[in-house]
Structures are given as C-alpha cells and as structure tokens.
Amino acid sequence: MNGVETRVPPNFIRSLVADDVKNGKNGGKVLTRFPPEPNGYLHIGHAKSICLNFGLAAEFGGLCNFRFDDTNPGKEEMEYVDSIMNDVRWLGFDWQDRLYHASDYFERLYEWAIDLIKSGKAYVDSLSADEIREYRGTLTEAGKESPYRNRSVSENLDLFERMRAGEFADGEHVLRAKIDMASPNLNLRDPVMYRIRHLPHWRTGDKWCIYPMYDYAHGQSDALEGITHSICTMEYEDHRALYDWFLDNLDVPCHPRQIEFARLNLAYTVMSKRKLLQLVQEGYVAGWDDPRMPTLAGMRRRGYPPEAIRNFCERIGVGKRESLVDYGLLEYSVREVLNLKAQRVMGVLRPLKVVVENYPEGVVEQLEAINNPEDASAGVRNVPFSKVIYIERDNFI
C-alpha cells in the first residue's frame, strides 16, 4: 500500500484480540470476517468495518474471510455483489480463496433447525407478523406465549418440512426458537429463525422457499468457518446473548467471540442504505456511484485515493461510544495523500489573450515547472512562454 500510512493506534478490540492470542485461545489464531448484505453499494461507514476486520487479521498474522449475508433474496442483486467485491479490492484488501456465502450453509442450517425442534427448543408458530409483535411485549412488560408454542415435536417437524416443501403461503408460518418470553432482553423472546419467502435466490434459484433470519444464520456461519472474533457494530450488542444461545444449543465446531464497536457517523452525510437507495430510485442522483454519494464507488469517481480512506478509518479510532466525525477529517486525509502523489498542473478554462508588447516576436522560452514539490521522482515538465499568452478570464473580470 503506497502513500501516507498512519500509525496504528491502540483500541479495545486490538487489546482483546491480543489477550486471546497471548493466552493461546483458539490456538493463538485469528480469523475474522467481513459479512456484507448484497442489498446496496458499500458506503464510507462500511470502510471502517472492512479496515478493522482485514487489519486485525493482518496485524496478528491471521486471515479474514469474505462472506455475503445473502439470506434476503427480495433485496439482493448481482449488481450489488459485483460492486461490493470491487470496492473491497479497491480499498486494497484481498480475501484470496476465502469467498463464502450464507447460502453455502442453507442445508446445514436447516438440519440444525431440525435438531432444535427435536430437542424442544424450536417450534412452528402460526401467528401473523402483527400478532408476533403484539405478543412480544415491551421493554417494561413481559411478552405472552404464542398459543402454538407447545405444539408437539412431531407436529413441528411435519409443519417445518411442509414449509420447506412450499405448501404454505408467505407469512402463514414461521419457525421460532423457544427461549423465554419474559426475558428482559427482547431478542430472547422466542425470536423468529425462518420465514417463508416464495422468491428465487440469486445463487440457489428456486431450491428454497424458506430463508433463515440473520440472527440465526450469522453465528452458525461464523462457527462453520472457524471464525475466532466476530466483529460487529453496537446495534448487535443486545443480540450477542442470542448469538451465544444458538451456538451453545447446537453441535457447532467452535464458538466465536462476538465483539461490538461504534459505527461510523459522519457529519452531514447520509449513512443509511435504505435512504441512499431512495435517492437512486427516485432519480435524485445518477446512480450509486454518483460522485455526490457517500458510497465507496462514488468516492472513487470523485478521485479519493483508497489509502486516504484507510488512513481516515485509522484516525477516527475504534470505540464503543457513538460519536459524530467531522467531514473535514476525511477531506484532510484525502488532501494529505494527494499532496504527496498528485502532479501539479494548470489549466485555463476561460482564456483571456494577453500580448506582451515588449517581448521579442517569434521567441519561445521553455520554462521548467516541478510536477510535485513533495515527490522528486515526479520530475519536471516544460511550460512554453512567448509574446502571446493566455490567462484565466475570471481572475480579471
């Protein structure tokens, strides 16, 4: 990686990983992952996660997997898949042969769901989505058990198999984990594991009409890949108990450690893929890679060098407390890199002809101009000077 590189500052995640390595946890190995959902282009906020996951792996002599969280076929497109891969490569990171998809594990996830049903820890619920929300309760009131919660194992197995076979309409049934409807953590109040979606998947086609929820698929996917540290943003802190519950109640090959950090909030910048998609769909911008967009593709078109974004992600640090980063820090990181690598050239956009009356007719002098005063290897260029020159009109009118 060329250009300005900032010193890697300490942070709590590095300290936790360093302690695990020092204590020989996971055999002293570090394996992280970057798990984007292919439902839009990556934006500057994703760069923080990319740099953190790949950077931690490199720092501790480990590896970082690239895994698409492709569990929601209604919002996923190949255009997004291709753009995400291009953006990660552009930032300077390489996953080599470790490209995975949650859909790689659909069959194994289904088998594990069967195991939970057989052990009485999952059941098919026939409440509607609105009823499930109503039964869930609030932060101050316990939830109510579904009237279908105590279905027999045989009935649950039969219904779940028929769900997979496509016998039911979307929303007619869901599979839920049977945990605790009175838990103070709402995520443990019998969360939905599978929902029916009669939609083709961009990888599996029409093979499946039931799809796992993120909270069910994510931890088991990590375990199947042997991930040691599952790094995610603070919005998943309350989900960690559910992440651990699934791993503790299934025969998984390992139990990754989930660690949360504060996501990047950039001043005056839209950081929601849903809102960015709205800008694209309603024609406010020319596309996801419009230079006005905070997407990595847009920043690439704007001329931002990838090392500037990497340096920016290091500068802002990693913490647990939400904060707002000034946009000027990103621009400073860009200027810092361009100052070292960009050649200095001049263009006259609105020319004004000037005749130097006391300069000899027909004489042309070649003056040397330095291409980049910060980079001697950039050399010099010749700039002609004669009786007739052109200057920028806007400077004088």
232 vs 141: CA distance, rounded Å: 29
Q: Are 211 and 71 in contact (CB under 8 A)?
A: yes
Side chain identity, residue 107: E
Amino acid letter at 268? Y
CB atoms within 10 A of CB 216: 24
> Rounded distance, CA 84 to CA 173, Å?
33
Among candidates 148, 211, 156, which has minimal Cα distance to 181?
Answer: 148
Write down the catalytic residue from 151, 178, 273, 300: 273
Using DSSP's 3-state secondary structure scheme, residue 288 falls into coil
Token digits of residue 19: 């302690």
b (16+ CB within 10 A) / e for 171-196 = eebbbbbbbebebeeebbbbbbbbbb
Copy the structure tokens of residue 239. 């989900």
Please confirm, yes or no, whether 207 is among the known catalytic residues. Answer: no
d(CA 134, CA 308): 48
Which residues are 34's β-sheet partners? 66
Q: Which residues contact 85 (CB under 8 A, 6 or more apart)?
A: 66
Asked whether the beta carbons of 56 and 93 are under 8 A apart, the reply is no
d(CA 129, CA 221): 26
Q: Which of 14, 25, 37, 75 is catalytic?
A: 37
How far, in Å, are 20, 292, 334 from residue 302 at the CA level? 41, 8, 11
Q: Which of 75, 263, 341, 387 is catalytic?
A: 263
Task: Round to whole Å and give the CA distance between 200 and 99.
Answer: 22
Clarify whether 282 is annotated catalytic.
no
Our measurement of the distance from residue 184's CA atom to the centroid of its chain's CA atoms, rounded to an integer in Å, reads 29
273 is catalytic: yes
Cα 228 from Cα 188, distance rounded (Å): 24
55: amino acid identity, one letter: G
Q: Return the axis-axis angle of helices 106-118 and 153-165, rounded to nearest 10°.
A: 160
Active site residues: 37, 263, 273
